[in-house]
Amino acid sequence: MPKLIVAIVLDIDVCHEVIRVWEKAGVSGATILDSIGMRHMLAQTQRDDLPLMPSLRSLLESEEYNHRTILSVVPDDLDLEDLVRRTEAVVGNFDDADTGFLFVVPVLMARGLGRGESAVSRTGDAKP
């Protein structure tokens, strides 16, 4: 049964390296989303010291709390322990504060994953 791997990486500067180690571990594709945690979102919306019309400079200087969420559906035979070890070698131990978190869930059905090449060949012709 395929598995969905979800990694929320708090340090956006290491996202590219995480993708590189996932590829080396056998992950053939992933989706990366810009994300923000609930705690940071609530902190930003509950501030009462923001002016009604903030200046562009103040917006640009404000601290960002964006993270990267990496999603990938992998085959059952992928070594998940190896993938987690490689990921933690980049981001740090997920059990430590300010690293992020990772979880894996079974995928009951998936369509469009394909194996090897995509459904469109390199010439642009759809495969039967």
Sheet of 66-74: strand order equals: 31-36, 66-74, 3-9, 100-106
pLDDT digits over 70-109, tens only?
999 999 999 999 999 999 999 999 999 889 999 999 999 9
Q: What is the mean pLDDT of residues 103-124?
A: 67
- Is there a contact between 2 and 74 (Cβ–Cβ < 8 Å)? yes
3-class DSSP state for residue 73?
strand
Does residue 83 come out as left (phi exceeding 0), alpha (psi in the -120 to 50 range) or beta? alpha
Q: What is the mean pLDDT of residues 5-13?
A: 93
- Is 20 a domain residue? yes
What pLDDT is recorded for position 49?
Answer: 57
Q: Match 């894996």 to its residue by tokens.
A: 104
What pLDDT is recorded for position 18?
Answer: 96
pLDDT digits over 12-62, tens only?
899 999 999 999 999 999 999 988 777 666 666 555 555 555 565 554 555
- Is 114 a domain residue? no
- Is 116 a domain residue? no
What is the number of domains present in the chain?
1
3-class DSSP state for residue 54?
coil
Q: Which domain holds residue 17?
A: 3-106
Q: What is the CATH number of the domain that holds 62?
A: 3.30.70.120
Is residue 92 packed enough to be buried (19+ CB in 10 Å), middle (13-18) or exposed (0-12)?
middle
Q: Match 């993938």 to its residue by tokens.
A: 83
Higher pLDDT: 64 or 7? It is: 7
- Is 113 a domain residue? no
- Is 120 a domain residue? no
What pLDDT is recorded for position 89?
Answer: 97
Interhelix angle 80-91/15-24, nearest 10 degrees: 150
- Is 124 a domain residue? no
